[in-house]
Amino acid sequence: MSKRTPAYWKGTNVVLDVGWGDNGKGKFVDIGSQYADLVVRWAGGPNAGHTINNEFGEFKFHLMPSGIFNSLCVLGDTVIIDPDILIGEIDELNLRGFPINESNLLISADASLIFDWHKRRDVLSEAARGGKMIGTTGRGIGPTYADRTDRTGLKIHHLYEPDFEKRLMREFVWQTRMTKLMEGKTHIGNLSREDFEGISPHAFNQMVRKSIGNGPYDFEKMYDRLTIARERLEPMVKNVFPIIQKVHRDGGNLLGEGAQGALLDLDLGTTPYVTSSHPTMAGFSIATGINANEVRNVYGVTRAYGARVGEGPFPTELEDETGEYIRKVGKEYGTTTGRPRRCGWFDAIITKYSVRVSGATKVALTKLDVLDELDEIKICIGYKVDGQRYDADTLPTIKPRFLYRAKPIYETMPGWEQKTSEVRSFGDLPLKAQKYALRIEDLLSTPIKFVSVGPEREATIVR
């Protein structure tokens, strides 16, 4: 590393999101990775969307770690991988003059693979919910994690094992039968394991169609794509655990990169409107074997206002001109889906909960500049549910059964009505903007370390 490392990026640190995702953690990973020996992404799959703005241009990543421009990066065991999407991102970076190879990207041999059937099952499951959809991205994330939990499915290392073709054939038949049952088709034929011996992908494809019928998948095309992926990714596939542990134990600078947000955690989030992994510090520990007491800083990233994409409760949502104004100025559209994000005021109650359960020790406050032209700004400091008031210390749950009934209690603060995007020190922010940030810090009982006033690296104030 050519740059002198600031104290707050030394050792092992983690960047995660303390909201419903999309709060700008990719920017802070990009910044912190300038000083890192290793960046480890530990959660999610191509349902994530990280936008990076740096000297190389603007990039929108789904699987590629945000630290790829500065450091050796790892896709950890608990990330799930769609090889087509990953190779597409590798090709884009190659075309834009930034070659990707084993010198800057490593892929865990134990990461699970997303297949066409996972995406199909995702769509079918969502459709079956009728009016109670959970708002998935349709990228096959939930079904892939479900297979992983069920100890089925294929992982990266299976691509390189001698029996890969037979494994894939068995999986193909089983998943085709499952999909047909989900589609309500009961006649699904019969193929035994013995049928897979010594048969070409083309012949197998024809046999499946004859036995099971015209299913939603084409084995031959899938096999060809995987053959390309196997060759392209092989130099980068490693057993990454000892690599991660060595950097950490040797006192190197290791940066954990989260995906999604803590409020989307499978267990601690607003279930069922959540993701299928653990975007919290606990998830980082599961993926790396590094415990919370071994991490120097956990930076929790949150906007200066509220936003959420997809379904689920959102107590401070604004369905008026102010909400539309925030969406327009903040360019609030999902990186992965393109869906308009729901926007609202900053919710100090649920964010304090998230700071606690995510393990965040410091806060990065983003998009303060989006609020520059508002004459007044509100912060949710409590909820009223069935006539009873709750604050962050008396919050009983964040599950929908409670949050859908929660009416926000607001504190109103004056807007600063001044441009902040060129400001580079906290003391140079308008006084009212400083007071707003400090009020959030007080309500979260957690120090604000960074304030972002634009998407660029340099538009970041360090306190």
Catalytic residue numbers read 22, 50
The tokens of 250 are what?
């040797």
Query: Tokens standing for 184?
Result: 């309500």
Rounded CA separation 221/217 (Å): 9
Half-sphere exposure at residue 265, Cβ-oriented, CA atoms within 13 angstroms:
24
Measuring CA to CA, which residue among 364, 376, 372, 377 is closest to residue 422?
Answer: 372
A 10 A CB-CB count for 461 gives 21
C-beta of residue 79 within 8 angstroms of C-beta of residue 148: no
Identity at 257, one-letter amino acid code: E
Instruction: For the beta carbon of residue 404, count every other beta carbon within 10 angstroms.
Output: 13
Rounded CA gap, 413 and 402, in Å? 27
Contacts with 231 (C-beta within 8 Å, 6 or more apart), sequence order? none
Structural contact between residues 40 and 295, judged by C-beta atoms closer than 8 angstroms: no
Q: What is the 3-state secondary structure (H, E, C) of 255-294?
A: EEECCCCHHHCCCCCCCCCCCCCCCCHHHHHHHHCCCHHH
Is residue 232 helix, strand or coil? Answer: helix
State the number of CA atoms in the 13 A half-sphere of 409 facing the CB: 12
